[in-house]
Structure 1
Amino acid sequence: MTRSPPRHADPKGNPYVESPPTDFEPASSLSADAAAEQAALLREAIREHDHRYYVEADPLIEDTIYDRLFERLQELEETFDLATENSPTSRVGGEPLDALETVEHVSPMLSIDNGAEPAAVHEFDERVRSGVADSGFDPEALEYVCEPKFDGLSVEVIYEDGEYVRAATRGDGREGDDVTEQVRTIRAVPGRLRGDPPERLAVRGEVFMPIDAFEAHNEALIERGEEPFANPRNAAAGTLRQLDPGVVAERPLDVFFFDVLAWEGEADRPGTHRGELAAFDAFGLKRTDLIEVVDDAEGAIAYRDDILDRRDGLNYELDGVVIKVNDRAACEALGSTSRAPRWAFAYKFPPRTAVTTVEDVTVQVGRTGRLTPVAELTPVDVGGVTVSRATLHNPAEMAALGVNVGDRVRIYRAGDVIPYVPEVVEKRSEGTYPFPETCPVCAAPVERDGPLAFCTGGLGCSVQLERAVEHWARRDALDIEGLGPERVEQLREAGLLDSLPALYDLTVMELVTLEGWGERSARNLIDELEATKRPPLADFLAGLGIPDVGSTTARTLARHFGDLDTLLDADEDDLQAVDDVGPEVAASIRGFLDAPENRSAIEGLRERGVDPEPVELADEDGDGPGPDALDGLTFVFTGSLAVARREAQDLVERYGANATSSVSGNTDYLVIGESPGQSKRNDAEANDVPVLAEDGFAELLAEYGIDWPPEA
């Protein structure tokens, strides 16, 4: 029997763990014993919340509720002299994950005191002015640097002699998880600094997932039948804690750097925080442009209000702004408490939540048959946007919430992310909404897989069929123009599309009888389909929609096995021999290929002439260049070459190199053909990346015994 891991606080005995009350009676009205008892419960609960937030990236409560619990504990400890050495108020929360190596930070990564009211900013300003005056500084000369407060995962990144050497999560503030290889895959993190950095530089940054990338990534997860992330912060945190850097590399993480943790060496350190941020520009460290220097609290408040107004137009999540004393000497004089610097303050944004009523629950069907419950709501304004639908994620989540039609629920919305229901605030119904036992589209039986539910109808389910065809036609698969969702649905409803292979049975005569189709558009689609009958093996595999196999993994599989039949015959041990394919992915691939309906679809495609081209494998035994000839090199291609760009990428990857789509500090060569893109050339210049014309690229390959252009 599997035992659950111990918790810092049991929700059955601690009211501050799940749905905690925050309307506290005045501390002065409590007896010493009652105050001590409440403080003990709060410490346990806050430790639990810290663990769920920092370690598991799976918070139980909203940030605003956590802040209120923390403030209450501070109030009790100060009023009744209850502070203890190990209280959450004396240290930054969170413990490193056991699965990753723990490393010590070069300097503590502290929290920041915060508040959500203008009065709190004025109080901070008064404390700072008093403190700097006591230390001999002129309070009238005080300046604050204001910058956004990013809602991601804080990391320490260290450079020595300009070279990237280590990265770690914040953890408990003094030690964190070593995520050096994971962060190395983030393109915004330079592998080498520009300019004249100090001999040792440790910087603090925030890793995040852009909102548009988050939405696309969640869509891909849902299509594969996997659990989507609740919000961009969880996506960033969950990704960075992946043990496999290859998985991290496939996910769209980004970073902003915002602080110096250590500056060692002969290079002069700027005397202001604004100067340090300017140095980041010189070093090639990405930072936000939304920075403003102000003279007083009113200027900081105006800055926060401006950023709040601009919040929904940004492609990343913010939960407030940070106000910092600009003069570094003044910061050192002010110092820090055991958990927070005295020279910085976070002015938080109001939460984007609202309470409304569930009018109905509908169940959506995804490409893989995954069923997702959706709450149909009485329309409500949430942060300036009218929300009438919110995801309930999966049957297990819906059951955990205990939600049903008629209940009053809280809705949370972050940017343009799909709103979701974090809690039921008023139970007005009996029980939980009964999840259907048959598919709402095709009436096939529903199967449960852990917290998820799936329709068993396969391609016999009209929604799954349409999504499978759309996936096959995607740009990163077979790239078939003219097969958008509306046309796919039209073809199915007309009886012309009852399977994926049936795409290749379509005729011009059949298409022109449909509304909106002319002879030209019909002929174009037939020509597009004909052109995909000998696709690259990687595109064919990506188009099948194998769970856990995106375009990058598809290319890796293609390079490893060479042809479709060899892959179809590979067992799980053979699959695990492929780079970045572990036991779970191998089992997923094998399960997909063994499913009768999927094997039938593959054979049906081949019967209609859709047969992928084998990949020419590097010479492992002969006299030619080996499969590792270009190992360690990274290429980016732009412009028109002698062959298609995909063929150039396949060629260098066949010999062990990496081919990426954008230039970074990790790029070894930018190869330019005719009419190259200017942005990539600018990036190459900025990152000191050598630029090769096509003839120079051919000469480089010749040094390794590789012919260019490759034979057809």
Structure 2
Amino acid sequence: MTDAPGLDAEDLRFAEPDNPYLLDPDTDFPPADSLAREEAEEQAALLRAAVREHDHRYYAENEPLIADRTYDRLFERLVELEEAFGLDVDGSPTQSVGGTTLDELETVEHVVPMLSIDQSVEEADVREFDARVRREVGGRGDAEPAAGAGDVEYTCEPKFDGLSVELVYDDGRYARAATRGDGREGDDVTEQVRTIRSIPDRLGGDPPEFLAVRGEVYIPRDAFQEHNRERVERGEEPFANPRNAAAGTLRQLDVNAVAARPLDCFCYDVLGWEDGGRDSPATQWEELSILDDFGLKTNDRVELVGDVEDAIDYRNRLLEEREDLNYEIDGTVIKVNDVEQCERLGTTARSYRWAFAYKFPARAEVTTVEDVVVQVGRTGRLTPVALLDPVDVGGVTVSRATLHNPGEIERLGVNVGDVVRVKRAGDVIPQVAEVVESRSGEPYPFPDACPVCGSEVERDGPLAFCTGGLTCGAQLERAIEHYASRGGLDIEGLGEESVEQLREAGLVESLPDLYRLPDRREELAGLEGWGETSADNLIAEVEAAREPPLAEFLAALGVPEVGGATARNLARHFGTLEAVRTADESELAEVEDVGGTVARIVREFFTNEENAAVIDELLRFVSPQEAETPAGDADELDGLTFVFTGALTRPRSEAEELVGRHGGNATGSVSGNTDYLVVGEDPGASKRADAEANDVPVVDEEGFAELLRERGLDWPPNDER
């Protein structure tokens, strides 16, 4: 074979120039059963390489080599060969779209922390960032950098308005993806990201043995508009903006649903690199170049500049050109180019000290308020929403905007029929900024009764709350979802869709109704998409939640401002549910991490008549287990602080709870105060690195068990609760 005309080897990422399926391929294939197995394997290998190259050219480079129908025929032939000869499809591009439904999103630890970037819309703050960088790179502590101190180049790139993700490749093969989450841990979205066609399942070029990359998942603006049009035509609610659409899509458990949405991804940062003696790129600019060599999609608007003046000019030019881009951006990111200088500058607890986001001012447009509706949240908070005559705000068609609360309505003086200016707060959430022309003469009259259950509405300063509590239908669905969530009693099978289905079928009209489901098994099994197995599985999950630990039960009730940590503190302080329910504000305020405001909210929740009635009914079915109070706590681990990473033979929460019950502390991050890092299966790298930096002893699970045995404790525990 000869090189394909018009293609140079250096332009190709995944195929050799002599691959016959790159340019003007012959798609008149003979029947698959006429091939010997060896011929089929050879043809399939060429097709896989060609399909990867075509995917890269189409999705990453926007320079397709062949027509769509020709590509489809190549793809179909590859599928045909794999099926006919039972070929190994692991890593094949035919496996990259759809195919499975996940039970839940697992949490994974990042290779290194994915930190934030300091940001501002003020030019003066950008200059201050530059002065600090040059001062510190130049090794001076003066208030002003000396002349010529700290020669610094910057890379400037668009600040994408999408969802940040970590991509991991082992030996050049796609291994894992995770959302940013809290910066140290994120949701495992490996299968969802696998469906994004611009992300290769195998890297081209000469990738390292291990590579972790940061990228931004987004939906192109034109694709977003088309997708929203389709949603409206199907009678579904349109997405508010491309970022929300991308974030919601990536967290879908149905991978086929993810594949049906037009996600894309830009890659822009190397997070981890391991390759024997080969060094990682020395500059940000080299990183982008080598990521492109590997076949990962990078942005073509990145520039390398010599000083802050050029960086500011870049941002201003990009602001003018913003509307011409097919992706949403809300500013520019300015990065120190030299990686060694970046390492010298370091990080804070939350952000990189070598990067700064120079934001764009928020967009604003004028339209008319067609109506105002009031939404009811899980905690009973009422949020007014303006329904707008659709208006284009920065490339996004906005048909609704938040009015935040009745206090904001009064401040704006807004009402139905008024002409208002809409802006996108933080360039993301549409909100009414001001009334341009008042046609009503007075603010919208906020309702005195909950629009869902009719209960009285109470004001708390600018906010408003439904007093219906757990008897309010709007609050109930969200309360059930929370009760069953991992932050509650972890009842598998009660997600948003199933709860809505149970409510519509009349099977669950209150939290206690969950425990009546065993008596309504036939009705449950008869629901669309259920069946006997699904019904029995849910019933078993509900039955297993009849004797929860007190802390988990308190967290599951959804008391405002009471998360898992506060619930554990309340449980350890009071010991029983009755003691928590009857405690006054002063007693509640004595609990660790519970101040006066939270004490008042907790007290109001339990003294609310509707809530009290629901809890009393719930206690006919549920027996929350007493918690050991400080007076009864043992002190075998007194003064010891543990951090856990990776998977243990029992849930990590059990280990953390055991440590706390016996006088120790379990924290989420390693510091100089940590006594032991306990490492389970598949641990993250960052906590090990922190342990090494702080001289913290590292033990595996057996070592942890031995530590406990020396103090008379057992791991795994002997169900001592």
Q: TM-score category by the smaller chain? A: 0.5 to 0.7
Check if 1:630 corresponds to 2:638. Answer: yes
**C-alpha distance in 2, partners of 1:646/1:137?**
54
Partner residue of 1:546 out of 544, 556, 559: 559
Matches of residues 11-90 of structure 1 in structure 2 within 5 Å?
Answer: none
* Residue 445 to residue 351, structure 1, CA distance change in 2 (3 Å): closer
| TM norm structure 1 | 0.53
* Residue 136 to residue 390, structure 1, CA distance change in 2 (3 Å): closer
- Superposed displacement of residue 530, structure 1: 0.9
Matches of residues 502-517 of structure 1 in structure 2 within 5 Å?
Answer: 502-506=513-517, 507-517=520-530
Cα deviations by residue, 1:261-292 (Å, 9 ceiling, x for unpaired): xxxxxxxxxxxx99xxxxxxxxxxxxxx9997
Partner residue of 2:652 out of 636, 645, 649: 645
* Residue 345 to residue 611, structure 1, CA distance change in 2 (3 Å): closer
**C-alpha distance in 1, partners of 2:533/2:524?**
10
2:659–2:665: 8 Å Cα contact kept in structure 1? yes
1:684–1:691: 8 Å Cα contact kept in structure 2? no
Partner residue of 2:448 out of 433, 437, 455: 437
Cα deviations by residue, 1:340-389 (Å, 9 ceiling, x for unpaired): xxxx9996534332222212111111123221110111222223322111
2:425–2:431: 8 Å Cα contact kept in structure 1? no
1:362–1:375: 8 Å Cα contact kept in structure 2? yes
1:384 is aligned with what amino acid? Answer: G
Check if 1:369 corresponds to 2:372. Answer: no
Partner residue of 1:461 out of 463, 472, 477: 472
**C-alpha distance in 2, partners of 1:373/1:211?**
31
DSSP 3-state at the match of 2:417: coil
**C-alpha distance in 2, partners of 1:601/1:211?**
43
Check if 1:676 corresponds to 2:689. Answer: no
**C-alpha distance in 2, partners of 1:345/1:698?**
45
**C-alpha distance in 1, partners of 2:608/2:147?**
76
- Superposed displacement of residue 597, structure 1: 2.5
Check if 1:701 corresponds to 2:708. Answer: yes
Cα deviations by residue, 1:493-528 (Å, 9 ceiling, x for unpaired): 322222211111013112123333211111111111
- Superposed displacement of residue 684, structure 1: 4.9
**C-alpha distance in 2, partners of 1:574/1:671?**
36
DSSP 3-state at the match of 1:635: strand
1:695 is aligned with what amino acid? Answer: E
Matches of residues 5-404 of structure 1 in structure 2 within 5 Å?
Answer: 144-146=153-155, 293-295=304-306, 301-302=313-314, 319-321=331-333, 349-404=360-415
- Superposed displacement of residue 692, structure 1: 1.0
1:446–1:453: 8 Å Cα contact kept in structure 2? yes
2:654 is aligned with what amino acid? Answer: E
* Structure 1 counterpart of 2:462: 451
Check if 1:523 corresponds to 2:536. Answer: yes
**C-alpha distance in 1, partners of 2:327/2:698?**
36
* Structure 2 counterpart of 1:474: 485
Percent pairwise identity: 52
2:331–2:357: 8 Å Cα contact kept in structure 1? no
1:633 is aligned with what amino acid? Answer: T
* Residue 146 to residue 630, structure 1, CA distance change in 2 (3 Å): farther
- Superposed displacement of residue 586, structure 1: 1.8
**C-alpha distance in 2, partners of 1:541/1:472?**
9
**C-alpha distance in 2, partners of 1:480/1:345?**
43
* Residue 442 to residue 666, structure 1, CA distance change in 2 (3 Å): same
- Superposed displacement of residue 660, structure 1: 3.8
* Structure 2 counterpart of 1:578: 591
DSSP 3-state at the match of 2:540: helix
Partner residue of 1:592 out of 601, 605, 622: 605
1:585 is aligned with what amino acid? Answer: V
- Superposed displacement of residue 412, structure 1: 2.1
2:584 is aligned with what amino acid? Answer: D
**C-alpha distance in 1, partners of 2:374/2:217?**
25
2:558 is aligned with what amino acid? Answer: G
* Residue 306 to residue 638, structure 1, CA distance change in 2 (3 Å): farther
* Residue 586 to residue 445, structure 1, CA distance change in 2 (3 Å): closer
- Superposed displacement of residue 617, structure 1: 4.7
* Residue 350 to residue 655, structure 1, CA distance change in 2 (3 Å): same
Cα deviations by residue, 1:438-488 (Å, 9 ceiling, x for unpaired): 222233332222212222333343212212111211111111222222322
1:640 is aligned with what amino acid? Answer: L
2:380 is aligned with what amino acid? Answer: G
| TM norm structure 2 | 0.52
* Residue 587 to residue 421, structure 1, CA distance change in 2 (3 Å): same
**C-alpha distance in 2, partners of 1:525/1:554?**
25
DSSP 3-state at the match of 2:454: coil
**C-alpha distance in 1, partners of 2:555/2:157?**
39
* Residue 402 to residue 632, structure 1, CA distance change in 2 (3 Å): farther
* Structure 2 counterpart of 1:42: none
1:630–1:652: 8 Å Cα contact kept in structure 2? no
Partner residue of 1:655 out of 649, 653, 662: 662
* Residue 356 to residue 667, structure 1, CA distance change in 2 (3 Å): farther
* Residue 414 to residue 456, structure 1, CA distance change in 2 (3 Å): closer
* Structure 2 counterpart of 1:613: 625
**C-alpha distance in 2, partners of 1:687/1:509?**
59
5+ residue gaps in structure 1? 1-62, 68-88, 93-108, 115-134, 152-185, 189-209, 213-272, 275-288, 327-343
Cα deviations by residue, 1:110-141 (Å, 9 ceiling, x for unpaired): 85799xxxxxxxxxxxxxxxxxxxx9979xx9
2:485–2:491: 8 Å Cα contact kept in structure 1? yes
Partner residue of 2:697 out of 660, 668, 690: 690
* Residue 691 to residue 303, structure 1, CA distance change in 2 (3 Å): farther
**C-alpha distance in 2, partners of 1:536/1:312?**
51
**C-alpha distance in 1, partners of 2:645/2:404?**
40
2:412–2:435: 8 Å Cα contact kept in structure 1? yes
Partner residue of 2:496 out of 485, 490, 494: 485
* Residue 651 to residue 148, structure 1, CA distance change in 2 (3 Å): farther
1:652 is aligned with what amino acid? Answer: V
DSSP 3-state at the match of 1:419: strand
**C-alpha distance in 1, partners of 2:652/2:326?**
37
| Pairwise CA RMSD | 4.8
* Structure 2 counterpart of 1:9: none
**C-alpha distance in 2, partners of 1:428/1:702?**
75
1:691 is aligned with what amino acid? Answer: V
**C-alpha distance in 2, partners of 1:575/1:312?**
53
1:598 is aligned with what amino acid? Answer: N
1:187–1:664: 8 Å Cα contact kept in structure 2? no
**C-alpha distance in 2, partners of 1:534/1:544?**
14
**C-alpha distance in 1, partners of 2:377/2:589?**
28
